[in-house]
């Protein structure tokens, strides 16, 4: 035991030596302004920090580039780019993407140690920490909480995001999504929203914000003033909403008001045009009428305004990287998220200041907000995180059990006209499982099949992909033909840059033909709007997400091991209204629940 302890100490010393060697062989820039948790001096004030910055350094504090969360060596070119952002551009923050807890934390620690001022680190943790942190708790998509209707569930997901996210060095969650998904054809929001009823969504948004704030993470309301009623992916083009202010005020703005009242510190703008509100076809991100007139003046929001990603097609294609950044700032944004080229963004902002397009006072106001947030988060006292605590915090049983519980209560039976789902509960047999999802979801239906097999079902699994052709569909028909029962597992979900969210026509046809010939159930592990392509199916079960907790919940629902109690947080045209759900609590006949 002593020998193992000595080896551990030696490893840590060598690790520190390696890091020292790294910092010694490359320029580090000015010494970081670092204080410790045990410092006796008072923390600096935003104004004193502001006075120490040059105009270019102030602009740098507003720029937030994207950083991969995967491992990178100190001499890897991608890490050297990030070092230059910190050393030369003096960026104020980063948005971190997918990586393991250790990789994310170690990379952020290294960059925090280099930074003159602490970095404000953000991430998209909409459905919990597992959205970006590999091995962290993966909850179902947020619309699953709409299906339970329980504010405590929203608060639980936010709590997990805050606890596990802060453990790896993330300070800002770009969530909750406060959009009302009131357009079934929306290709990018969908299950990222809590639902479409303004009051219900407002209550869940409020609970989510409170969960984050109670555990030291900033909440972000997005996508202001509402991205739910669109049919275009703003990553690809510019969506247009023709609604006037009266409509926004009574629908889309309701959850944003609730989130602001709950204490949300950040609001993210939408790359969407609102011509009836702004009088132009400029997206909200570039509109002072929206960001200043509506958000600041009408809703009295005093926190940080962050753009949506400035790499998105709705912005860059029309204005270019540098000009888009300047226009977003002029409209009222503080943080400039993911500019296509951080150097061009900083240079364009510096040129605009020299040209008098905005004042030094306007720049100071935004930088002061950023510095005040960093001070409030305690980043001047401690900006790095301990790596030795990660395994005790990230992905622990406490939150995994909570994810399973929420997933189970969110399962929603929208249709069961011939009682197939009830008949299968408690009965074991043979079935074909035809699974479909995008290329990024290679495991769709496998956990579901595993649990069915463990409980006595014989499962014949076949996988279809977006690129599957006639031979693959012929093979699927062969699998279906040799089994008396069929389950179709669909993983259709919103994906950036795709522009659509639908089943392939070949699969929709296969589902309906099969359903007409033998007992079949269509299960959606994603978008709830599949009935518009499969209108004749007799049994339709919604589990909202493809994470392991949701696959487990779907299996237990079919096996009769868990009741089915969820209700629709959205309308499913043509005949299913908000609040509908068929309750199956035991082996008795199902009880339909109409809209509330």
Nearby residues of 379 by Cβ (< 8 Å), 6 or more positions away: 118, 119, 120, 171
Q: Are 352 and 358 in contact (CB under 8 A)?
A: yes
Burial classification of residue 573, based on how many CB atoms lie within 10 Å of its CB (0-12 exposed, 13-18 middle, 19 or more buried): exposed
- Using DSSP's 3-state secondary structure scheme, residue 285 falls into helix
Query: Helices 446-454 and 548-559: crossing angle, nearest 10°?
Result: 40
Other beta carbons within 10 angstroms of residue 389's beta carbon come to: 11
> Which residue reads 């909440």 in tokens?
219
Other beta carbons within 10 angstroms of residue 422's beta carbon come to: 21
Q: Which of 179, 308, 404, 457 is catalytic?
A: 308
Q: Which of 391, 375, 395 is nearest to 383 (CA)?
A: 375
Six token digits for residue 200:
């219900």
Cα 311 to the chain's mean position, in Å? 17
Query: Helices 470-481 and 505-517: crossing angle, nearest 10°?
Result: 20
- Using DSSP's 3-state secondary structure scheme, residue 525 falls into coil
Nearby residues of 351 by Cβ (< 8 Å), 6 or more positions away: none
Other beta carbons within 10 angstroms of residue 63's beta carbon come to: 25
Six token digits for residue 360:
């030094």
308 is catalytic: yes
Torsion of CA 140, 142, 148, 149, to 10 degrees: 170
332 cis-preceded (ω within 30 degrees of 0): no
- Using DSSP's 3-state secondary structure scheme, residue 268 falls into strand
Six token digits for residue 164:
């596990």
Q: Are 124 and 174 in contact (CB under 8 A)?
A: yes
Q: Are 292 and 321 in contact (CB under 8 A)?
A: no
Residues with active-site annotation: 308
């Amino acid at each position: 035991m002593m020998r193992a302890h000595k080896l551990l100490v030696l490893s840590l010393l060598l690790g520190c030596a390696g890091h020292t060697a790294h910092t010694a062989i490359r320029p580090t820039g000015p010494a970081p302004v670092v204080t410790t948790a045990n410092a006796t001096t008072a923390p600096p004030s935003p104004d004193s920090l502001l006075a120490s910055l040059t105009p270019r350094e102030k602009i740098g504090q507003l720029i937030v580039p994207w950083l991969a969360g995967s491992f990178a060596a100190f001499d890897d070119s991608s890490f050297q780019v990030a070092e230059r952002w910190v050393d030369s551009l003096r960026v104020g923050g980063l948005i971190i993407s997918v990586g393991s807890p250790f990789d994310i934390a170690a990379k952020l620690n290294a960059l925090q140690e280099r930074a003159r001022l602490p970095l404000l680190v953000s991430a998209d943790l909409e459905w919990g920490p597992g959205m970006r942190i590999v091995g962290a708790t993966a909850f179902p998509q947020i619309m699953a909480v709409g299906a339970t209707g329980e504010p405590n569930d929203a608060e639980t997901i936010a709590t997990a995001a805050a606890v596990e996210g802060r453990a790896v060095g993330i300070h800002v969650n770009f969530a909750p999504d406060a959009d009302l998904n009131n357009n079934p054809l929306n290709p990018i929001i969908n299950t990222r929203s809590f639902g479409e009823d303004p009051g219900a969504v407002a209550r869940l948004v409020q609970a989510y914000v409170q969960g984050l704030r109670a555990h030291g993470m900033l909440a972000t309301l997005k996508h202001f003033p509402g991205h739910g009623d669109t049919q275009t992916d703003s990553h690809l083009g510019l969506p247009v909403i023709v609604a006037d202010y009266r409509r926004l005020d009574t629908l889309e703005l309701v959850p944003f008001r609730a989130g602001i009242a709950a204490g949300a510190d950040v609001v993210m703008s939408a790359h969407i045009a609102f011509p009836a509100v702004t009088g132009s076809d400029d997206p909200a991100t570039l509109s002072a009428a929206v960001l200043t007139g509506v958000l600041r003046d009408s809703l009295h929001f005093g926190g940080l305004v962050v753009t949506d990603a400035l790499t998105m097609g709705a912005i860059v294609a029309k204005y270019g990287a540098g000009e888009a950044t300047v226009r977003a700032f002029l409209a009222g944004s503080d943080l400039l998220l993911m500019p296509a080229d951080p150097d061009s963004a900083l240079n364009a902002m510096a040129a605009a200041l020299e040209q008098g397009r905005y004042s030094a006072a306007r720049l100071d106001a935004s930088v002061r907000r950023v510095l005040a947030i960093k001070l409030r988060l305690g980043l001047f006292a401690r900006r790095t995180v301990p790596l030795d605590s990660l395994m005790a915090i990230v992905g622990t049983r406490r939150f995994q059990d909570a994810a399973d519980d929420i997933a189970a209560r969110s399962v929603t039976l929208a249709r069961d006209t011939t009682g197939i789902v009830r008949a299968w509960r408690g009965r074991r047999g043979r079935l074909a499982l035809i699974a479909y999802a995008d290329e990024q979801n290679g495991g769709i239906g496998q956990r579901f099949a595993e649990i069915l097999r463990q409980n006595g079902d014989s499962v014949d699994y076949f996988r279809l992909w977006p690129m599957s052709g006639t031979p693959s569909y012929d093979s699927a028909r062969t699998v279906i033909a040799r089994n008396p029962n069929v389950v179709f597992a669909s993983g259709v979900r919103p994906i950036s840059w795709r522009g659509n969210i639908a089943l392939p026509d070949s699969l929709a046809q296969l589902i309906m033909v099969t359903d007409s010939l033998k007992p079949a159930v269509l299960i959606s592990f994603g978008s709830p709007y599949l009935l518009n392509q499969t209108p004749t199916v007799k049994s339709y079960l919604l589990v909202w997400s493809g994470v392991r907790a949701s696959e487990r919940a779907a299996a237990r629902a079919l096996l009769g091991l868990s009741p089915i109690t969820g209700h629709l947080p959205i309308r499913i045209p043509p005949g299913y209204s908000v609040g509908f759900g068929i309750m199956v609590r035991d082996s008795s006949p199902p009880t339909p629940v109409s809209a509330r």
